[in-house]
């Protein structure tokens, strides 16, 4: 059993770190932009393209599609460093839609979408949730009718977070009314910038993140927008969700380190309750990090981490909650003071992080759903 990176992987990690350090101003600007909750602005696109032009955004993909043909551990290293330096740890294109296009898309789709994703030039938005279909995704009802030489789409989506700056919608839509419900769902790629009949309307989350509703009103999309086979979309969505739940704890480790330094500087380290809390958190963060590495290792070894990805997603989101709760207890009432006020601790960073961490318990599947997945797929228990 070897818990360290190989010599080549260590060298690669240093190269990636050097990029972010040599682009320090840009990295800081991208991180600031991302933390406004508005998503990608010019600095985020610029840093993504710097990563992409080296083939690092999708290092596991074949060279012909903009990758480097490397193992999954190299992607883990890039994602970890991105998370540490700019807080963005993945894109939907590189981390979720791209892998499905690679395994189920046509050659035309691979040639059209994969190279610009790998270069960091385009982004996708996940189009799964609807007002009546969140945890129960199979209940989605937006309709895609096969009209012979095109599909006609009518309906709406909720909480489609990256829609206001993404080029493409990764759309789950109903193509058949059938039982079981999940067997009537297909997956489409829709050009959000050039398709008439689509309206994107903002929603603001408790964490201050912009997310969106999307309305389709008699929208015509070409037949070649379909990904894989018709009515098999639910399987592709589940596969993409397994990729989506993979994450790192680099941002958590960074914030935790800052909190520990703060406690030492402010002479609070003598408080036995604070010491207990921080000691426990150190162990939690380390176990989440080992989990993240295990999932990366499984992918490298051709194993699909479906319930393990659920364990990781749940563990990271709940550890994040413990970290921000602890920070709030340490700061006392000052913890609630927002950025911009002179009494704000860490310039209000943990105040926003606190609100944001509530979202992370919900997005990409709630903690309750993660527990269900672990019980069903991991422990072999029945659905009901
Ligand atoms: C900030 C934010 C960003 C998001 N971004 C996107 C995005 O980009 N694209 C996208 O498609 N979606 C996105 N979502 C949607 C997100 O994936 C859903 O909100 C989530 O899956 C939960 O669905 P729901 O909101 O309908 O809650 P519900 O499914 O109605 O759940 C309500 C409560 O009931 C619990 N519950 C439901 N079913 C069960 C069960 N079987 N067993 C136990 N408990 C259960 C849940 O855990 C939850 O506590 C986003 C959500 C948020 C808040």
Alpha helices (H) in the chain, listed in sequence order: 7-22, 24-33, 42-52, 72-86, 92, 98-104, 107-118, 233-244, 250-265, 272-300, 306-331, 349-360, 367-373
Pair 29, 55 in one domain: yes
Q: Would 72 be classed as within a structural domain? A: yes
Check if the beta carbon of residue 119 is closer than 8 Å to that of residue 53.
yes
From the CB of 161, is ligand 1 less than 6 Å away?
Answer: yes
Ligand 1 centroid from CA 133, angstroms? 8
Burial class of residue 116, CB neighbours in 10 A (0-12, 13-18, 19+): middle
Nearest CA to ligand 1 atom 26: 134
Which ligand 1 atom is the nearest neighbour of the CA of 372? 42
69: which 2 tokens?
Answer: 């043909």
Q: Would 238 be classed as within a structural domain? A: no
- Percentage, residues of the chain above pLDDT 90: 85
Ligand 1 centroid from CA 37, angstroms? 19
Question: 236-288 pLDDT, tens per residue?
Answer: 999 888 777 778 999 999 999 999 999 999 888 899 999 999 999 999 999 99
Q: Would 160 be classed as within a structural domain? A: yes
CATH number of residue 75's parent domain: 1.10.540
Q: Would 240 be classed as within a structural domain? A: no
- Percentage, residues of the chain above pLDDT 70: 100
Question: 79-118 pLDDT, tens per residue?
Answer: 999 999 999 988 999 999 999 999 999 999 999 999 999 9
Q: Could you write out the three-class secondary structure of 185-206?
A: EEEEEEECCCCCCEEEEEEECC
Confidence of residue 131 (pLDDT cuts 50, 70, 90): very high
Closest CA to 130 of 166, 96, 172: 172
pLDDT of residue 347: 84
pLDDT of residue 90: 84
Pair 319, 199 in one domain: no
In the predicted structure, residue 165 carries a pLDDT above the cut 80:
yes
Pair 228, 249 in one domain: no
Pocket test residue of 129, 213, 320 for ligand 1, highest count of atoms within 8 A of CB: 129
From the CB of 209, is ligand 1 less than 6 Å away?
Answer: yes
Q: Would 108 be classed as within a structural domain? A: no
Residue 271: strand, helix, or coil? coil
Check if the beta carbon of residue 176 is closer than 8 Å to that of residue 231.
yes
In the predicted structure, residue 1 carries a pLDDT above the cut 80:
no
What are the residues whose beta carbons fall under 8 Å from the beta carbon of 14, sequence distance 6 or more?
Answer: none
Distance CA 119, CA 69 (A): 15
Ligand 1 centroid from CA 134, angstroms? 5
Residue 100 has φ and ψ, to the nearest 5°, of -75, -40
Question: 194-212 pLDDT, tens per residue?
Answer: 999 999 999 999 989 999 9
Pair 156, 61 in one domain: no
Pair 225, 272 in one domain: no
Which ligand 1 atom is the nearest neighbour of the CA of 172? 11
pLDDT of residue 257: 96
CATH number of residue 227's parent domain: 2.40.110.10
Q: Rounded to an integer, what is the distance from CA 375 to the centroid of its chain? A: 23
160: which 2 tokens?
Answer: 């489609």
Residue 5: strand, helix, or coil? coil
From the CB of 134, is ligand 1 less than 6 Å away?
Answer: yes
> Token match 């050009």: residue?
191
CATH number of residue 294's parent domain: 1.20.140.10
Positive or negative: CA dihedral 280, 283, 286, 291: negative
Distance CA 384, CA 371 (A): 13
The neighbouring-strand residues paired with 191 are: 168
Ligand 1 centroid from CA 66, angstroms? 34
Pair 224, 252 in one domain: no
Among 30, 61, 89, residue at a domain's last position: 89
Among 232, 260, 288, residue at a domain's last position: 232
Q: Taking the model in full, what pTM does it have?
A: 0.95
Question: 132-155 pLDDT, tens per residue?
Answer: 999 999 999 999 999 999 999 999
Ligand 1 centroid from CA 296, angstroms? 25
Nearest CA to ligand 1 atom 44: 368
Q: Is the bond preceding residue 105 a cis peptide, omega within 30 degrees?
A: no
pLDDT of residue 299: 85
Nearest CA to ligand 1 atom 13: 159
Q: Would 57 be classed as within a structural domain? A: yes
State which residues form the domain around 324: 245-378
Ligand 1 centroid from CA 367, angstroms? 10
Nearest CA to ligand 1 atom 40: 369
> Token match 């009515």: residue?
231
Question: 289-325 pLDDT, tens per residue?
Answer: 999 999 988 988 888 888 999 999 999 999 999 999 9
Closest CA to 214 of 168, 177, 146, 151: 168
Mean residue pLDDT across the chain: 95
Q: Which of 137-146, 163-172, 252-261, 337-346 has the lowest mean pLDDT?
A: 337-346
Q: Would 115 be classed as within a structural domain? A: no
Ligand 1 centroid from CA 135, angstroms? 5
Distance CA 146, CA 176 (A): 10
Residue 124: strand, helix, or coil? strand
Among 207, 232, 257, residue at a domain's last position: 232
Mean of pLDDT values over 59-73: 96
Closest CA to 240 of 163, 171, 341: 171
């Amino acid at each position: 059993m070897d818990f360290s990176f190989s010599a080549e992987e260590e060298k690669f990690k240093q190269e990636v770190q050097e990029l972010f350090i040599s682009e320090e101003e840009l990295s800081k600007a991208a991180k600031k932009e991302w933390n406004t909750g508005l998503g990608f602005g010019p600095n985020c696109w610029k840093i993504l393209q710097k990563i992409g032009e080296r083939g690092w955004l999708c290092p596991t993909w074949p060279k012909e599609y903009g990758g480097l043909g490397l193992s999954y551990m190299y992607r883990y290293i890039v994602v970890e460093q991105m998370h540490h330096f700019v807080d963005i740890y993945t894109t939907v294109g590189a981390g979720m839609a791209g892998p499905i296009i690679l395994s189920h898309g046509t050659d035309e789709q691979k040639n059209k979408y994969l190279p610009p994703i790998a270069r960091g030039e385009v982004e996708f938005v996940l189009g799964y949730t609807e007002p009546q279909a969140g945890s129960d995704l199979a209940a989605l009802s937006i309709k895609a009718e096969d009209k012979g030489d095109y599909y006609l789409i009518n309906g709406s989506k909720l909480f489609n977070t990256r829609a206001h700056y993404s080029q493409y919608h990764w759309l789950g839509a109903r193509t058949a009314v059938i039982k079981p419900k999940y067997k009537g769902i297909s997956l489409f790629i829709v050009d959000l910038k050039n398709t008439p009949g689509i309206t994107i309307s903002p929603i603001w989350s408790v964490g201050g993140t912009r997310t969106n509703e999307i309305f389709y009103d008699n929208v015509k999309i070409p037949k070649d927008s379909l990904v894989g086979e018709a009515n098999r979309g639910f399987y592709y969505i589940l596969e993409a969700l397994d990729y989506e739940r993979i994450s790192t704890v680099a941002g958590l480790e960074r914030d935790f380190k800052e909190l520990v330094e703060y406690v030492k500087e402010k002479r609070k380290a003598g408080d036995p309750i604070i010491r207990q809390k921080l000691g426990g958190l150190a162990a939690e963060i380390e176990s989440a990090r080992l989990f993240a590495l295990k999932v990366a290792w499984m992918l490298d070894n051709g194993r699909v981490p479906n319930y393990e990805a659920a364990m990781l997603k749940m563990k990271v989101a709940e550890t994040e909650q413990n970290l921000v709760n602890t920070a709030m207890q340490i700061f006392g009432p000052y913890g609630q003071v927002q950025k911009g006020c002179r009494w704000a601790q860490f310039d209000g960073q943990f105040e926003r992080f606190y609100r944001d961490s509530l979202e992370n318990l919900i997005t990409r599947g709630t903690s309750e759903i993660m527990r269900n997945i672990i019980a069903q797929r991991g422990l072999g228990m029945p659905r009901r």
